Amino acid sequence: MYQPDQPTPPTPAPRRRGCLGRVFIGGILLLAVIVFAGILIAGTLIYANFSGEIEAGITKLDDARNRETFETTIITDRNGQKLWEIFGEGKRTAITLQQIPSYLLQATVSVEDDTFYENIGLDAPSLVAALIANLRNQDERPVGGSTITQQLVRHIVFDYEERTAVSYNRKTKEIIFAWVMTRNYSKEEILQMYLNEIYYGNLAYGVEAASQTYFGKPAADLSLAEATLLTGLPQSPVDLDPFTNFEAAKERQWLVLNLMAGEGYITQEQVLATYQEPLSFAQQSVSLAAPHFAVYVRQLLEDQFGAEMVANGGLRVTTTLDLAYQSLAEQLARRHVAAVGPEHNLTNAALIALKPGTGEILAMLGSVDYHDDAIDGRVNVTLSPQQPGSSIKPLTYAAALSPVDGGKPAWTAADILWDVPVEYGQVDGSSYEPVNYDGRFHGPVRLRTALANSYNIPAVLTLQDVGLPRYIEFARQMGISSWQDDPSRYGLSLTLGGGEVTPLELASAYAVFANNGQKVPPVAILRVEKSNGEVLYEYQPPAAEQALDPRVAYLISDILDDDAARVPAMGRDNPLDLPFAAAAKTGTTNDFRDNWTMGYTPGLVVGVWTGNTDNSEMLHISGLTGAAPLWHDFMLAVYGDAALQQSLLVNGAAPTSEFVPPSGLEKRPLCALSSITIGATDCTQSGSEWFLTESLAADDTPAAPDVVQWQQVEPAVWRMTAVPLPPVPIEVADVDAPPSQLFCQFVEGTAVATLPPDAQPQLFLAAPRNEQSLKGAHEWAQANNIAIVPTTPCNEELLALARDPNAPAIWRIVTPRNGEAVSGVLPIVGTADFDTAVVQFYKIELGIPDGNNVNWVTLGETHNTPVVNGTLEMLHADGLPPGVYYLRLIVVKDSNYVGEPYTIEITIQPS
């Protein structure tokens, strides 16, 4: 608002009657009768020549009450706060006389038509005065002398060309139409139509639009000073524009005030006081709060009602947005981007917030500054496809956990995924080798741990098992519509963010998790009506679609809300850790181009994206540091403000504060994976996990007492009878194959009588389900003394190779592998298991080639303590010249070798 300086009051204007006053009233009235008679004659002649036009004009007058005029469309938030005023030709909002102050009505009548309530549509004295003035000044523009009714008729009946033409024929038709209108409409109806029709300048048509344009308030709230200034503008809106010619507008106001005093509406004292009252004008900028959302709503409206109706139809649009949520998002996003600082080259942020139970969008922040072209601020990132990074992984695991065709789910949250090196051949001959964000491998990890810590390799393994066609269809059911139908367009990296999605559709998919598996499409518009109250559209929530098993939805929520489970990757007190139940997942794309955090409570879904709209790289910043703090602050602010939480109510009820497990889930204890070592017959209990009840179904029929039994202790752990195998001789070992398995297994139901003496039941971890991980899993297991379920069935040949119960030892080297290139300092891992009462010691020897001979030297000391899948000795390769060497493991009894040494070849590389 601004206040211009007030000019000095002019000399008081005289009271008048019509345009000539009352001095020559008698003569003028006589002349008026003569002129009126002439008009009637002229009208008769005009009607004879233009009867079609006259009848068409009368028809328009008959329909004036229901006449469609352009009106401003107003978009508001859910609480009625204006977001945007859309107009085409101009701004107009129709109101009734009851919404207009009486002094504005009096001012209008005083200055425009002081005989309005008595005349028949024309003011004869004024008309004569105008005629005399025009005869005296034939070279100048004619003077009008029109009544309020004539001015209104001009707008209703004539098109723009005829309305602005200088023509006595048009003037005569105008008078005839004004007379007709006065016969058919009350004075109140005419005045109301006039005040909603007349132009006040600055694209404001009608008094309500003028009041909002000039003073930023409804016409009902105008003061006398404001009303009288506006009333003077229609005579010449451009010349009297108070923004550009304030003195002229004030001079016109002075005239209006004095005419009101002359009519007895106000006193002369009020004239001066009102004139001198300071005026505060509204800033002249188009109101556009929540600009990205408002533009999005306009697009939706145009799709439904057409662009013309939106621009000129006077729609009143109530949206789902809560301006308080929007303002909070804008404030926190700007603060966050500023706090990150230029050193990370992060310039923009976007945020979407919606109610999962209804799909109502509460906030849509498309950028930190809509008007900043340097960051492409007008681009609505919440509607722009971006690579989601790891924030898409919950959908992968949800697909894996979901029952297929009413059967058992393929995976449980307790199943293990082998986070070991894996390689996939590509069509072009290259290979795809996924890596984790931390660059490390974590061995066997449960599905819960893999998702909570966002490990990449387990996610790829899971998608490989689910299959791309099923996954794409599953994502579509969850609300992801950006992906193409053809699975060949994608690879396994789709689960790492290889397919673009918009933040809005990803938030909608997360809403399915928050809403117990039910999908409700996002909605932005609650109600559309005309300015007269006619309802054109009202949102009726569709029946929710059960897109996901509610138990799987709960499992995903429980994992994403498991603060303890994600500590290994994200540490304690990270931004995802809130003091109330909240599930969250971060995402970071390759080269740091996108940071994401998607998260939710049972009542609110919030998605955050940060980055650069031009897709340029950020520097060393992830979803956890680049997006999660903004998500964290927004969530805390909402749940720390009771007023904001009111918008989360659904049918007057607050959503639950916790994720509640549905029926059909059962919690079972789990084994510590680290306790499943070679030879272990019992595990150490560590934690528990939720299971879909059908995944627990098993055949409880007891096996015969004389046959081998397999027992699934829990999804990742089996107890079975197996036989230890001897080392595979080097001459028959395959360097590229998985390391030789330590055990062969007896097929369930094998007769006990066939078991060798050293067969024993023990615990094993489940092996990888994909063949690409077998080699890496066995290497990891043997290096860490972990037993994997053997896949090799025991047969007569293997049993013959198994060591004799009376044999004194078993020995092998596991790593380095035969033919492996090594450098630095590394352990030599393997087994030297023997009876200390029989065997004296074992030792590792290094073979140094010398022509056709090999010179052997002992590494370290001899050892008289058995080792099972542990460190046998240390190799200091960094102290040896590069080249080919040999390692051999020797077990000694009575100063002689026990069998042949276990020998491998290695290549030492420069450190």
* pLDDT > 60? residue 29: no
CA distance 171 to 72: 31
* More confident position, 466 or 431: 466
> Do residues 193 and 202 touch, judged by C-beta distance below 8 A?
no
pTM of the model: 0.74
Which of 66-80, 145-159, 195-209, 598-612 is the least confident region? 145-159
Query: What is the pLDDT, as a whole number, of residue 2?
Result: 60
As a whole number, mean pLDDT of residues 890-895 equals 87
* pLDDT > 50? residue 22: no
Q: What is the pLDDT of residues 632-678, one digit of tens each?
A: 999 999 999 999 999 999 999 999 999 999 999 999 999 999 998 88
Helix (H, G, I), strand (E, B) or coil at 205: strand
CA distance 546 to 548: 6
Query: What is the pLDDT, as a whole number, of residue 700?
Result: 43
Q: What is the pLDDT of residues 514-526, one digit of tens each?
A: 999 999 999 999 9
Q: 546, exposed or middle or buried, with CB in 10 Å at 0-12, 13-18, 19+? A: middle
Torsion over CA: 394, 396, 397, 403 (sign): positive
Question: What amino acid is encoded at 613 in this protein?
Answer: T
* pLDDT > 60? residue 297: yes
Report the greatest alpha carbon distance in the chain.
152
Q: How many angstroms separate the Cα of 651 from the Cα of each of 135, 159, 324?
A: 72, 50, 20
CA distance 324 to 387: 29
As a whole number, mean pLDDT of residues 726-750 equals 51
Q: What is the pLDDT of residues 461-505, one digit of tens each?
A: 999 999 999 999 999 999 999 998 888 889 999 999 999 999 999
Q: What is the pLDDT of residues 234-290, one digit of tens each?
A: 998 888 989 888 999 999 999 999 999 999 999 999 999 999 999 999 876 666 899
